[in-house]
Amino acid sequence: MLESSLQFLRCVRCNSELELNAFKLGQEIEEGILECKKCNLEFPVIEKIPILWDDFSKYLSSHKILGGKLYQLVQTESLKKFLKFSLSKINQVSDDRTALEERWSLIYQNSKSSKFYSSIKNNLNFIKKSNLVLEYGCSIGTMTSFLAESHKMVFGVDRSFTALRYAKKLYKNNLDYVVADFLSPVFGNLQFDLILALNILELVEPADLLNHVSKQISTGYFIITDPFDFDRGVNSVKKPLDEITLRMNLKNLGFKIMSKTKIPSDISWNLKLNSRATLNYKVDFVIGKK
């Protein structure tokens, strides 16, 4: 975690500023605790990644295997004590997401050369240098690292600690990542000039995400793409959006749809699952502007 990031982060429960207790310092804050003095919540910083989850033990409940790995990773006694206490309060759940998130992190690593990313990058060239940029669902940081080359400060938010460990292997002094829920107020009332949300509508209620993002942009751009693949069984979102409804919702929130993305598109997105299998999507691309 960059020390400069502290000025942007907020308590996800009460929106208060956070205080840092750093246990291990290097080029970045490698281990520590972010504390909210108002509601007494504590958020760990592990492997340079802050985990801003409203209930850290609840996060570990669905990542029990990861919790054990985190305990082995941390080097300071203070953080080991914090993790041990958090692990003692987890609930037993049958669905541990650790292996799934490790698998998809590897898939995204193997798919970085997909033409999908080249297409999105080309479509972002018209946007001038911005002060603050945010990507939801940044995963291993393919787009965030690209954006950091031409914008002042870039943040990536993802639910997967494993994916962000890949992302943090590349250091830039204007690029940082946070483990958090997409709808939590990680940045309080901060306004962004550019927000990306690439292919994540099956992971979060689409209308809720659009409303959340709209509050974070007063003047700027919202880039969203998705294959509209909502079939996730019991994990499917309750109210999926199609290409037309997505654009209508954005307009109702005050976004103007840029002319080249008014008509639904089919950008290829190829994910290399393994040496024998590739998953091919046709992705819709929308640019909204306020």
SS3 of 67, please?
helix
According to the model, what pLDDT value does residue 148 have?
97
Report whether pLDDT(48) > 90.
Answer: yes
**Can you give the residue ranges of every domain in the chain?**
3-96, 102-289
**Span 30-55, average pLDDT:** 97
According to the model, what pLDDT value does residue 198 have?
97
Report whether pLDDT(145) > 90.
Answer: yes
Total residues belonging to the chain? 290
CATH among 1.20.1090.10, 1.10.260.40, 3.20.20.240, 3.40.50.150 for 102-289: 3.40.50.150
**Span 111-123, average pLDDT:** 93
Mean per-residue pLDDT over the chain, rounded: 95
Report whether pLDDT(236) > 90.
Answer: no
Going 120 to 125 to 127 to 130, the CA torsion angle's sign is positive
According to the model, what pLDDT value does residue 182 have?
97
Per-residue pLDDT tens over the stretch 242-257: 999 999 999 999 999 9
**Span 208-227, average pLDDT:** 97
Q: Determine what percent of the chain is predicted with pLDDT higher than 90.
A: 92
**Span 45-66, average pLDDT:** 96
Closest C-alpha among 91, 92, 70, 90 to residue 81: 70
According to the model, what pLDDT value does residue 92 have?
78
Closest C-alpha among 148, 173, 144, 171 to residue 158: 144
pTM here is: 0.96
According to the model, what pLDDT value does residue 13 have?
95
Going 254 to 260 to 266 to 268, the CA torsion angle's sign is negative
Report whether pLDDT(232) > 80.
Answer: no
Per-residue pLDDT tens over the stretch 61-114: 999 999 999 999 999 999 999 999 999 999 878 789 999 999 999 999 999 999
- What is the number of other CB atoms lying within 10 angstroms of the CB of residue 131? 12
What CA–CA distance (Å, rounded) separates 269 from 279?
8
Per-residue pLDDT tens over the stretch 177-216: 999 999 999 999 999 999 999 999 999 999 999 999 999 9
Local confidence band at 235 (pLDDT 50, 70, 90 cut-offs): confident
According to the model, what pLDDT value does residue 194 have?
98
According to the model, what pLDDT value does residue 233 have?
73
